[in-house]
Structure 1
């Protein structure tokens, strides 16, 4: 059975059409159009300033990445201290007290920031984005100079630095979002005209991401409104992966082939039990309800981190399961 299932899936990948595969990357996403089994075009459609705006917005995270292991392993008396899990902090702050191994890499990062700041005037950025980027870089350099000079830092000082630059980070986030919306929507419009309305109405989109960006994925949000709204809930598929795959197109098509063949199989094999058919067509394991029944448990509630469909509703078909 498994060999035949795999054979069907392998052959089906050659007939999937039309499909857009989205790879999330540092420049706003790489998009590939597949039509009639042929990879028509691969494009990075987002304007260049997206990467600059987002990279500079991440500078506080870059500083954190250098100093985190050298933090005190005790949560200090700061605003919202209760939001920091003491056990998480204890694991992250794994360097011994007094270790100054952070000074060399942080000094190197400072050089990178200083170089970036000198190049801002020639980057042809909008005035507000240039100003916010300069503010972030300047404050980061100031924090680094103070820490290196004292050969010491703490979470309180870092939090003050982060709070100071947050308004500027918001400006950069706005600019990055605008760039991404503009670039992706223009590409979708061009591809829609290329393959025609009939084909576009059946478009599948596979968005590859890692777990941390799978929920409310930026590319998915933008693409959603360009698709056939009658099918978008079943044809726009977010595919979280543990790591960026070596062959993203192959991974996307293999998973889509499984989804498509299971969509048909579900209605044929489980036509007498639509709730089981919905499970096969969706993310629910076929044995999950049986296991819960036998152990006397209930399905865990979905959290904001994982998203949620309406209670008792299949996220793929929208049908309500019946006992």
Structure 2
């Protein structure tokens, strides 16, 4: 039988070169799949994940119907809207917080309302105030975007002043508790005076604004006290009633999902209150703070969809990754499954936990987020 070497030896050099080139081309073509074959293969691989996601979504959609009992909290201007779902049925939706929660916060927000008008016109004034080093200069540049000397703040501030003046005039007939009335009157009166003064002068500075804000801060603290008391009373009263309604056994397995925007998701007020009423052995896994970019159009559906994902991942973690408990814990929590591997490859470490144990921090009188103790 002729070998490749022997065969080449019987042909001319030119013929051999031609044959060799053709043979190599054929070999290369057979070794490297065509581009269409490669795409088809990769698409087939992608379809594996698409199939998983389809199965996962089907399970989640069915699981939503079986989640029970669940309380969904929507943070809003009146202290929160609460929905109880039990045995797949929406039992009740309630705004349980007394009205003076909203009224107290409304007046307490006045300094922020004035600042929001003036902020774009700050120019170079901020470095003249105490604690200016705490302000990111780049953030300031983006907020203070108006040309120095621009008087565009006068018209919107006068409009807000009209709103404040109306509230001040009608305040005596709002039938507020005495201390709350006094604090609201103080905040409104000082705000009107401040606006009148800077509008008359056609200019403002942050030192004067800070003096105004400091002068009403004690009254703002009074309003905060009233608002907090109203929220605690309203929420705890509702939790007690619902606990009696569904019974102790169901309540011990209660899930609570609290929807909020990112800026209020840490130490959310509703979460702080509700956690005390839950089964303490499960509160760490059954009370879920769900930050959103903005209030969803269907908060109930969003809350249930996310809760279903959490519940099924909790079970899947122990079933799929029972050979690696660290990975299982990642699937059960907020971590991405690749987090540890990425940290390992880049030589990094996970950031420190942002919150301390609730009970520990509370007992120490420190903020669970910052660990700082409030100044007395």
**TM over 0.5, shorter chain:** yes
RMSD: 1.2
- d(CA) in 1 for partners of 2:204, 2:288: 44
Contact 1:74 1:86 in 2 (8 A): no
Contact 2:69 2:87 in 1 (8 A): yes
Secondary structure at 2:334's aligned position in 1? coil
Q: 1:76 is matched with which residue: 109, 114, 127?
A: 127
Contact 1:72 1:154 in 2 (8 A): no
Secondary structure at 1:244's aligned position in 2? coil
Q: 1:206 is matched with which residue: 250, 254, 257?
A: 257
Q: 2:148 is matched with which residue: 89, 92, 97?
A: 97
**Alpha-carbon shift at residue 87 of structure 1 (Å):** 1.7
Contact 1:51 1:176 in 2 (8 A): yes
TM-score (norm 2): 0.80
**Alpha-carbon shift at residue 86 of structure 1 (Å):** 1.8
Kindly provide the CA deviation profile for residues 152-196 of structure 1, in whole angstroms up to 9, marking residues without a partner as x: 001111111000000000000000000000000000000001000
Q: Give the equivalent residue in structure 1 for 2:203.
A: 152
Q: 1:295 is matched with which residue: 340, 346, 356?
A: 346
Q: 2:246 is matched with which residue: 177, 189, 195?
A: 195
- d(CA) in 1 for partners of 2:328, 2:70: 24
Q: Give the equivalent residue in structure 1 for 2:234.
A: 183
Q: 2:301 is matched with which residue: 225, 250, 256?
A: 250
> Is 2:286 aligned against 1:235?
yes
**Alpha-carbon shift at residue 302 of structure 1 (Å):** 3.8
Kindly provide the CA deviation profile for residues 46-73 of structure 1, in whole angstroms up to 9, marking residues without a partner as x: 0011101001001000001111101124
- d(CA) in 1 for partners of 2:99, 2:169: 18
TM-score (norm 1): 0.93
Aligned counterparts, 1:1-323, within 5 A: 1-303=52-354, 307=355
Secondary structure at 2:127's aligned position in 1? coil
Report which of the two has the higher share of helix: 2
- d(CA) in 2 for partners of 1:125, 1:308: 37
Contact 1:54 1:176 in 2 (8 A): yes
Contact 1:73 1:90 in 2 (8 A): no
Following superposition, which runs of at least 4 residues in structure 1 exceed 2 angstroms of deviation?
A: 73-78, 300-303, 307-310
Contact 2:125 2:206 in 1 (8 A): no
**Alpha-carbon shift at residue 76 of structure 1 (Å):** 2.7
**Alpha-carbon shift at residue 126 of structure 1 (Å):** 1.1
Secondary structure at 2:84's aligned position in 1? strand
**Alpha-carbon shift at residue 74 of structure 1 (Å):** 4.8
Contact 1:270 1:276 in 2 (8 A): yes
Secondary structure at 1:47's aligned position in 2? coil
Secondary structure at 2:257's aligned position in 1? strand
User: What is the count of residue pairs matched by the alignment?
Assistant: 307
**Alpha-carbon shift at residue 308 of structure 1 (Å):** 5.2
- d(CA) in 2 for partners of 1:94, 1:109: 21
- d(CA) in 2 for partners of 1:129, 1:108: 25
- d(CA) in 1 for partners of 2:124, 2:175: 43
